[in-house]
Amino acid sequence: MRRPPDLLLRFTRAERLVHRATAALMLTCLATAGCLYLPPLAELVGRRRLVVTVHVWCGLALPVPLLLGLAFRAVRADVSGLSRFVPADRAWLRAVRARASRRPAGKFNAGQKLYAQWTLGSMLVIVGTGLVMWLVRLTPPAWRTGATFVHDWFAAAIAVVIAGHVRMAVRDPEARRGMRTGLVDRRWAEREHPQWVPAPAPDQEQPTQEQPVREQPVRGGGAPRP
């Protein structure tokens, strides 16, 4: 793929689609939850049966984009990268606490990793408790009371955390462009994700080479190695 040398591919189409589909489902769940739960919205919208149906099916579909995305290598690489803390992540957290400007990070910084894991864990909890509330005949009543309690509190927490996620995105147009087009500016990446940025091409004479080849054995009996 050719692209201007100052742009880096951050997210493939599969990664962007997983993000977009999950976001759409999650926002639909939150919007319908508001229409079921907040009296002014409930009075405005009514149509309880329709709203419940939309809420339930969008909720059940929440994990589907991620599961489908696992068929793509880039998504699997993100999943495994997001799930582990490396020393740079601890340094990032320390830098945030110290309000330092240099914050080491790979493709994802420690905050993004924690956000991703919160999203996965809270999604499992909210879908699980939602199932208990939906399949009313399968579980004892005390479970359902508890599940409703947990569902309510997690929904509120998810709404707050997503508001924070959106606020971060609003303040960083380049990060938004990365999620919208897949491409980010190299200088932005060097500042925000210094350990992720691949080394630039060695020089201008070989603009089509994706990787420097100096460390690799030379095929076909080329120049002898030093």
Partner 1 sequence: MSEQNEEGRGTPVGRRVVLGLLGLGAAGVAAGPYLLRAQEAVAGRDPTGLTGLLPGGGGFRYYSVVASVPTRDADTYTLTVDGLVERPGRYRLADLRAMPQRRIVRDVQCVTGWRVPDTPFEGVPLAHLLDAAGVTAGARAVRFSCFDGEYTESLTLEQARRDDVLVALKLRDAPISHAHGGPVRLYVAPMYFYKSAKWLSGITVTDTVRPGYWEELGYDTDAWVGRSNGRDDAPTA
Q: What are phi and psi of 185, to 5 degrees?
A: -70, 135
Q: What are phi and psi of 217, to 5 degrees?
A: -60, 140
CA angle 163, 17, 67 (to 5 degrees): 95
Do residues 179 and 16 lie in contact, with contact meaning Cβ atoms separated by under 8 Å? yes
Nearer to partner 1, 9 or 116 (CB): 116
Nearer to partner 1, 45 or 162 (CB): 45
Nearer to partner 1, 2 or 137 (CB): 137
Least separation in angstroms between residue 117's CB and partner 1 is 4
Do residues 107 and 82 lie in contact, with contact meaning Cβ atoms separated by under 8 Å? no
What is the DSSP track for 132-161? HHHSTTTS-HHHHHHHHHHHHHHHHHHHHH
Least separation in angstroms between residue 226's CB and partner 1 is 31
- Interface positions with partner 1 (CB under 8 A): 37, 39, 42-43, 45-49, 82-87, 89-90, 113-114, 116-118, 120-122, 124-125, 128-129, 132, 136-137, 140-150, 152-156
Least separation in angstroms between residue 126's CB and partner 1 is 8
Least separation in angstroms between residue 141's CB and partner 1 is 5
Nearer to partner 1, 147 or 189 (CB): 147
Nearer to partner 1, 145 or 181 (CB): 145
Least separation in angstroms between residue 68's CB and partner 1 is 20
Can you tell me whether residue 185 is helix, strand or coil? strand
Q: What are phi and psi of 141, to 5 degrees?
A: -60, -40
